Amino acid sequence: MAHRVCPSWLGYILICPLRRWSDNPVEILAGRVRPGMTVLEPGPGMGFFTLDLLRMVGTSGRVVAVDVQARMLERLKRRADKAGLLAALDARLVSPDSMGLGDYASLVDFTLAFAVVHEFPDVGGFFAEVAAASKAGASLLLAEPKGHVTSTHFEAELKAAFEHGFTLQDRPSIRRSHAALLKKG
């Protein structure tokens, strides 16, 4: 699969409130994110999920949002600021080959990787970095759009996750997405 990065104009469409009909962040994240948690969100785009993540972790928690596109992060930060949620956001511009998470080693409680792993040039490297940043027992919710990612490709992503120490906990049902809940260790 080609590793084409989502264009920034699509970022505006991805934050459209109508999307909540198929991908409702509150329903998808319910019971997985609690106040005080450290959450990693690779590829947040303009933050369709990020604002709900920030509300869920509260002022004692943190959301680390890493993206390769400055325009996505600028819009995300503006939206978080407008919603009064900026203080708990660590938004980072990173390169495609590293999320630069060395300072979060073994600190992350939960990772949301929604519609993003197929854009990474090295899927094994992605899971290695998430594993290194995650606490023992931390969760990773992996979801990929069925329109872009075949079942075979999704299974290959899962295999890469297993090779980096994740185990399968559940196959949640998310409309229009392949999805898996994974656990470190």
Ligand X SMILES: C[S@@+](CC[C@H](N)C(=O)[O-])C[C@H]1O[C@@H](n2cnc3c(N)ncnc32)[C@H](O)[C@@H]1O
Instruction: Provide the binding-site residues for ligand X, judged by CB under 6 A.
Output: 5-6, 14, 42-45, 48, 66-69, 72, 94, 96, 114-116, 119-120
* Residue number with CB closer to ligand X (167 or 178): 178
* Residue 37 vs 51, nearer CB to ligand X: 51
Q: How far is the CB of 3 from ligand X (least distance, A)?
A: 7
CB nearer to ligand X: pick between 20 and 59: 20
The nearest distance, CB 145 to ligand X, in angstroms, is 8
The nearest distance, CB 66 to ligand X, in angstroms, is 5
User: Within the chain, what is the greatest distance between any pair of CA atoms?
Assistant: 41
**Residue 97: closest CA among 127, 122, 132, 65:** 122
Instruction: Report how far residue 56's alpha carbon sits from residue 172's, in angstroms, rounded to the nearest whole number.
Output: 20
Nearest distance from C-beta of residue 152 to ligand X, angstroms: 20
Comparing CB distances to ligand X, the nearer of 149 and 158 is 149
The residue among 3 and 185 lying less far from ligand X, judged by its C-beta, is 3
Instruction: Write down the least CB distance from residue 67 to ligand X, Å.
Output: 4
Tell me which residue has its CB nearest to ligand X: 43
Cα 110 from Cα 61, distance rounded (Å)? 11
Distance CA 85, CA 159 (A): 36
CA distances from 153 to 1, 68, 160 (A): 8, 22, 11
Neighbours of 74 (CB within 10 A): 14
- DSSP-derived letter for residue 68 is S
